[in-house]
Structure 1
Amino acid sequence: METEVPAILRARQAVAPDERFTFHSSRMRMTHVTPEQLRAMDADSDRCAAELSDARVDVLGYACLVAIMSTGLGYHRTSEQRLHARTAENGAPAPVVTSAGALVHGLHTIGARRIALLAPYMRPLTRTVVDYLTHEGIEVLDYEALEIPDNLDVAAHDPARLPGLARALEYTDADAVVLSACVQMPSLGAIEEAEQLLGKPVVSAAVCTAHQMLRALDLDAVAPGAGHLLSGPYARTPWPGASRETGRGKGTEQRIGGGTV
């Protein structure tokens, strides 16, 4: 979250040079990716939302996909509404994007009903992600759990390995491939390589989160070097939270708040 989303927004300045973004983060503590630590981390998200709204951010992103998905089916909607309420209570209402909800919406946006997926989690948590996506109408044809328990080791995983790992999946009948179902595991630099290698649209949790944050800001969701989703055809796709929350509209500077692990 703290590396790839800002990198996407910096790259965006090549096509929108008048825009500027500032990035603010508040951390929920978690060291090992276990159900117990994920539940404790999610309980801390209200504090993070309040802290970030002190900075009067224009959009807030909740970074941990599996913390949301392991809480319950469809929970990203509950989390987004509750955290938006925390910002409103603090006098600084901001739209909220969760990486879990963004991945779901990003896959629906590109019409991906069947996917293959890579995740850094242990196998039971990866199965939770698969079940969550299935509940949202997305069939996971194949997946690989890299089984990396330590959160810092997830961040240190070499993204250059991902295209080869993805190629080992059964992806022929998939509509798209998720190169990283985790914003902590870096993949941005390998997205376009993987698309060329696999001949399929390739997304990640971070790319989908950036897409939804830009749409929540009512900005065109376009950025070079981030794959099919941000290449232009989906620049004006409606943001699913627009019916309940409103961003602060277009401007030359946008403040991005990230609740991260």
Structure 2
Amino acid sequence: METEIPALFRAREAVAPERFTFHSSRMRMKEVTKKELEAMDADSTRCAAELSDARVDVLGYACLVAIMSMGKGYHCVSEQKLAQITLDNAAPAPVVTSAGALVSALEVLGAKKIALVAPYMKPLTKLVVEYIKDQGIDVGDYRALEIPNNLDVAAHDPRNLVGIAKQLDHQDADVIVLSACVQMPSLQSIEIVENELGKPVVSAAISTAHQMMRALDLPAIAPGAGALLSGKYADAPYSPSLPIAVK
């Protein structure tokens, strides 16, 4: 979140006039387990309040599996809850969760079936797969990299994803999700895989950036980030879970 989201917005700055600042508040989590993810999510209201103190224009909740581990459809609950925190703090701002953003991105791309790569252990990866299926998008082949430590997830070499993607059975997939996790870097491999497989390739981070740009009522574009941010979907509708004022 703190590397690829700013990189995507900086790429946008190269082709558009708007400029951005970035602010973060952390929820603690070391091992990617359901117990730690639940504790992490419980701390999200504190983070939303702290960030709204800075009068930010949009908030991004950057842990896809933390949301998905809380139950099917929970991204809507989380977005409403955190948006209400900003409203109560007299600093209303839209909230984008990476879980909700990925679902929205797949809908924008018209995906009926996807193939997916995730860094999580197999039980959590299966949970992610079932969450996406519950949103009406079929998941065919998927790969769980089984990296338990969160710092090791961030240290995973994104270049390895090129070979991993080629190993997926992707023939019937409309879209490839190269990283179903904002912690696992993938940006430098997105367009490589897209060109080699001949179909759209996205990540949780790219999806989040797309939705954050649309939440700001800006065209969602960023060179070098694949089909979703190519400009083709720059004006895709943004539908927040809770209607609130946007600066």
Q: TM-score per shorter chain, which class? A: over 0.9
Q: Deviations over 1:74-96 (max 9, x none)?
A: 00000000000001111101000
Q: Once the two structures are superposed, what CA deviation does each residue of 1:25-50 show, in whole Å capped at 9, x if it has no partner?
A: 00000000000000000000000000
For normalisation by structure 2, the TM-score amounts to: 0.99
**SS at 2:163 equivalent:** helix
Aligned residues: 247
Q: CA deviation at 1:243?
A: 6.4
Residues 100-151 of structure 1 deviation map (CA, whole Å, 9 limit, x = unaligned): 0000000000001100000000000000000000000110011000000000
Q: Point out which structure has higher relative CO (alpha carbons under 8 A, 6+ apart).
A: 1
Residue in 1 that maps onto 2:92:
93
TM-score, length of structure 1 as denominator length: 0.93
Find the counterpart in structure 2 of residue 216 from structure 1: 215
Q: How far apart, CA to CA, are the structure 2 residues paired with 1:93 and 1:222?
A: 25
Among all aligned residue pairs of Structure 1 and Structure 2, give the percentage whose two residues are the same amino acid: 68
Alpha carbons 2:59, 2:96 under 8 Å: kept:
yes
* Consecutive unaligned residues in structure 1, runs of 5 or more: 249-261
- C-alpha RMSD over aligned residues: 0.8
Query: How does 1:76-225 map onto structure 2 within 5 Å?
Result: 76-225=75-224
Show the 5 A alignment for 1:211-250.
211-241=210-240, 244-248=243-247
C-alpha displacement of 1:246: 3.2
Aligned residues of 1:216 and 1:246 also touching (Cα < 8 A): no
8 Å contact 1:122–1:147 — kept in the other structure?
yes
1:4 corresponds to which letter in structure 2? E
Contact kept, 8 Å, 1:99 with 1:209, in 2: the verdict is yes
Shift in Å, 1:247: 1.9
Q: Structure 1 runs of 4+ off > 3 angstroms?
A: none
Matched, 1:6 2:6: yes
Deviation at 1:242, TM superposition (A): 7.6
- Contact 1:216–1:242 under 8 Å retained in 2: no
Residues in 2 aligned to 1:113 and 1:70: alpha-carbon distance in whole angstroms: 23
Separation in 2, partners of 1:79, 1:23? 21
Cα distance in 2, alignment partners of residues 187 and 224 from structure 1: 15
Distance 2:242 2:30 in 1: 36
